[in-house]
C-alpha cells in the first residue's frame, strides 16, 4: 500500500497493526503480517519512486497494490470513498484504466493527477498529486487486476483545501478501512 501523507498512513497502521521498519532508512516503511505500507511524500515523482523502491524489495506479483489517500473534487461529499476507474496524468497526458471489482459496492470515478492542488475546483474529476506516479511504477511489475486506487474526498468547493488538517485526514481514512478490508478480500488472486 502506498500513501502520500503520514496522516493517511496512521489510520492504516492502526487498523492493521503495522510497525515501522527502521532497517530501511530511505523509506518510511511500515510492516505487518502480509502487508507493507510506504509513505511516499507528496507528488507524482515521490509516489513513483516509493512504489519502485517497495517493488524492488518484494515479489510484486505476489500481492495486491493499493494507492490509498485523499483527493479533491468539485462537488462530491467530504468523506466519500471512490474507487478510481481512470487515471489521467495532466502533465504528460498518460492514462490508465484500473480494474474495478464488480462485487465491490463503492462509487467509481475518474481522477486527474496534478502537479499542484486545484483550488478552483473546475474539473469534473477527482484530483490528487500521486496516483499517476503510483500507477506508472506498479503497472510495469504486476498484473492489472492486482492494482487499485482508492481515494477519499477531502475537499470541495464548499470546504476547500485550506480547511484540511492531519487529524481530519486520519479520520476520513479511518472511516473507510472496512472498504479497504473488502477491497483486499475481493482482490486476492492466486499466483
**CATH number of 95's domain:** 3.40.50.1580
Residue 108 covered by a domain: yes
The mean of the pLDDT values for the chain is 90
Residue 119 covered by a domain: yes
- 45 by Cβ neighbours in 10 Å (0-12 / 13-18 / 19+) ranks as middle
Asked if residue 56 has pLDDT above 70, the reply is yes
Residues in contact with 82: Cβ distance below 8 Å, sequence separation at least 6, in sequence order? 71, 76, 106, 107, 108, 109, 126, 150, 151, 152, 153
Residue 191 covered by a domain: no
Structural domain count, the chain: 1
Residue 57 covered by a domain: yes
The pLDDT of 155-159, averaged and rounded, is: 95
Residue 133 covered by a domain: yes
Percent of the chain with pLDDT over 70: 94
Which of the four pLDDT bands, split at 50, 70 and 90, describes residue 145? Answer: confident
Asked if residue 191 has pLDDT above 90, the reply is no
User: In this predicted structure, what is the pLDDT of residue 137?
Assistant: 93
Q: List the grid coordinates of 68.
A: 490509498
Whether the predicted model's global pTM rises above the 0.95 cut = no
From 18-27, 59-68, 118-127, 180-189, the region with the lowest mean pLDDT: 180-189
User: In this predicted structure, what is the pLDDT of residue 190?
Assistant: 36
CA atoms of 21 and 161, how far apart (whole Å)? 32
User: In this predicted structure, what is the pLDDT of residue 60?
Assistant: 60
Domain hosting 54: range is 2-186
Asked if residue 188 has pLDDT above 70, the reply is no
Residue 49 covered by a domain: yes
User: In this predicted structure, what is the pLDDT of residue 25?
Assistant: 78
Phi, psi (degrees; rounded to nearest 5) at 96: -135, 155
Phi, psi (degrees; rounded to nearest 5) at 26: -85, -5
From 98-102, 126-130, 162-166, the region with the lowest mean pLDDT: 98-102
Q: List the grid coordinates of 33.
A: 503480517
Residue 172 covered by a domain: yes
User: In this predicted structure, what is the pLDDT of residue 90?
Assistant: 95
Would you say 151 and 5 are in contact if contact means Cβ atoms under 8 Å apart? no
CA atoms of 97 and 121, how far apart (whole Å)? 23
Residue 101 covered by a domain: yes
Amino acid at each position: 500500500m502506498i500513501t502520500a501523507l503520514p496522516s493517511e498512513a496512521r489510520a492504516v497502521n492502526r487498523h492493521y497493526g503495522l510497525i515501522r521498519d527502521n532497517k530501511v532508512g530511505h523509506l518510511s516503511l511500515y510492516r505487518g503480517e502480509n502487508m507493507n505500507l510506504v509513505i511516499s511524500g507528496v507528488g507524482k515523482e515521490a509516489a513513483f519512486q516509493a512504489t519502485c523502491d517497495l517493488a524492488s524489495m518484494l515479489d510484486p506479483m505476489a500481492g495486491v497494490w493499493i494507492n490509498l489517500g485523499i483527493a479533491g473534487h468539485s462537488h462530491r461529499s467530504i468523506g466519500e470513498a471512490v474507487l478510481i476507474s481512470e487515471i489521467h496524468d495532466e502533465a504528460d497526458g498518460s492514462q490508465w484504466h484500473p480494474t474495478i471489482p464488480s462485487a465491490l459496492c463503492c462509487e467509481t470515478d475518474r481522477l486527474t493527477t496534478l502537479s499542484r492542488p486545484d483550488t478552483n475546483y473546475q474539473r469534473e474529476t477527482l484530483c490528487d498529486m500521486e496516483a499517476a506516479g503510483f500507477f506508472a511504477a506498479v503497472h510495469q511489475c504486476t498484473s492489472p487486476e492486482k492494482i487499485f486506487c482508492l481515494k477519499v474526498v477531502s475537499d470541495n468547493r464548499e470546504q476547500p483545501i485550506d480547511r484540511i488538517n492531519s487529524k481530519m485526514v486520519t479520520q476520513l481514512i479511518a472511516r473507510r478501512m472496512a472498504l479497504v478490508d473488502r477491497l483486499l478480500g475481493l482482490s486476492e488472486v492466486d499466483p
